[in-house]
A and B are shown apart, each in its own frame.
Chain A
């Protein structure tokens, strides 16, 4: 086989992705340097770094960055810890285990818009919502989730969706554990926590890395849940970077500022990518 063929086979994918990356990037850089309002296409002109300044000094900006990080970190923490716990719970056989597994993974297949509306209307509605009923049953003050705890509500929805993903992967990984080793440890007098700490968790290391990597890729740009529930509000309480850019582009029609924000998102993604490759990339080769 000559040297040409492997490259030719790779070409379509590399070319397609290169265009998919470079064309929007080039246009974004261009837009970010001009005044460009979608509602007034005739008003154009060089803006220098004005758009960047506007975006970065926007009071919403820091909030959005913090929210993005908080959302990412909390959902990953909840799903990894919760996923391991649930996986351990359903690892050993018990009546109805296969049905349990089907029910457990179902939320992962639910599309984000359905997830969001399901929680917004049926679970978190302060008057009729199921959570309100439960709170009242226990004699607690009802919570207006999306108004009082907007970011937490979003975290809850997203974590609910991704917990099954983590669980599913941990279940699969647990099945490949060496049972004889575990039994030997029991014989030697190791208690449950010791076995968990020194045998189970290390065995799950690789799958934890996979879960963190995939979730980071998808959670950086959580959008639909915010779009369909809080609309980023109240104020900026549940706005992440992705939603802030969207707000500038399609609600304020300011493509210039939105593009400056997009370049910031690219930067953020690359920082995350470097971090990811360092921490996890080696684990996956």
Chain B
């Protein structure tokens, strides 16, 4: 029944005039013009979007008077006094130490718990695997505030309020679903045959994990760890509600500037800059792995 589709030869020339009307300018000029326009547009958009951060960085090096000057000041003699004062007044280094310890520990513990689970789900799939993964993700969707009162009461009775241990436990648990998901999707890309071959050769589970899986999934571990480090570093809700002077992280230090006292813009900027600089630089250095992590490896 397949009749050949008739070719409408008479329609073909209609497509041609498109090429003709563009030929007015030589292509080199057109190309350079387009490039110039594109470059200008891209830089304009970028600078607009980056402006708030750039402005904060500039303000951090101004005196308080210069910071609120109208019209705003773009050129001035930079000063470091704000950074010194932030450290003296609120012990920046203590908060920074808390941030580093809580985010690094929660990431490492999280990886240790998530990796075996992800391994088991990726290489020993059952009918329930998908349900378990979805259930894990759904625990992440519940607003943390829903669990605030119980967690607060529990932390209080376990003497974990305002301790780094308490924060580490909470950060680990709240990032765990994401970690399992990410490791799972990375593991899934590894052909199971490679692991089976190792097992055939008599490798124990531990040897298989250490000598075959770990090298192959290094990128996955890296991106998972990096993203969770960023998330834990920036976590504000639990840090604000479960910690204060002793175990507060940098997120809580900055929140303390929201009071009217925070109108010291230069100091606020200096403190903010010190709070975000480590993680922004870290994020820049690792952006390739982060994309992999952020999308569960789903976007190549």
Please list the residues of chain A having a beta carbon within 8 angstroms of any beta carbon in chain B.
Answer: 1, 5-7, 9-10, 12-14, 16-17, 20-21, 23-25, 27-28, 31, 86, 89-90, 92, 94-97, 100-114, 116-123, 128, 130, 133, 160, 163-165, 168-169, 172-173, 176, 188-189, 206-207, 210, 214, 216-217, 220-221, 223-224, 227-229, 241-243, 245-246, 249-250, 255, 258-259, 261-263, 265-266, 269-270, 272-273, 276-277, 281, 284-285
Contact = CB atoms under 8 A, between A and B. Distances in A.
Contacts of A246: 145, 148
Contacts of B141: 216-217, 220, 269-270, 272-273, 276
A109 B229 CA distance: 11
B124 interface: yes
B247 to A, nearest CB: 16
Contacts of B146: 24, 28, 245, 261-263, 265-266, 269
A173 B280 CA distance: 23
Given A214-B294, A255-B149, 8 more contacts: A14-B117, A16-B173, A20-B176, A107-B50, A109-B283, A160-B49, A221-B143, A273-B134
A172 B199 contact: no
Contacts, number: 289
Contact of A130 (B72, B123, B139, B177): B72
Interface stretch (B3-11, B76-84, B86-94, B262-270): B262-270
A217 B276 contact: no
Contact of A117 (B41, B46, B51, B272): B272
Contacts of B284: 102, 105-106
A276 B151 CA distance: 27
11 contacts: A94-B38, A100-B42, A109-B280, A113-B255, A118-B56, A217-B140, A221-B142, A221-B144, A229-B258, A245-B148, A273-B141
Contacts of B45: 86, 89
Give the secondary structure class of A's interface: helix
Nearest to A110: B276
A104 to B, nearest CB: 6
A220 B142 CA distance: 8
Nearest to A207: B299
Nearest to A131: B52
Contact of A112 (B140, B147, B251): B251
A119 to B, nearest CB: 7
B141 to A, nearest CB: 4
**Tier of interface size on chain B:** 35 or more
A259 B139 CA distance: 17
A189 B68 contact: no
Nearest to B116: A9
The residue among A20, A113, A121, A284 with the most chain B CB atoms within 10 A of its own CB is A113
The residue among B43, B51, B148 with the most chain A CB atoms within 10 A of its own CB is B148
A20 B119 CA distance: 22
A176 B290 CA distance: 17
A269 B251 contact: no
B160 interface: no
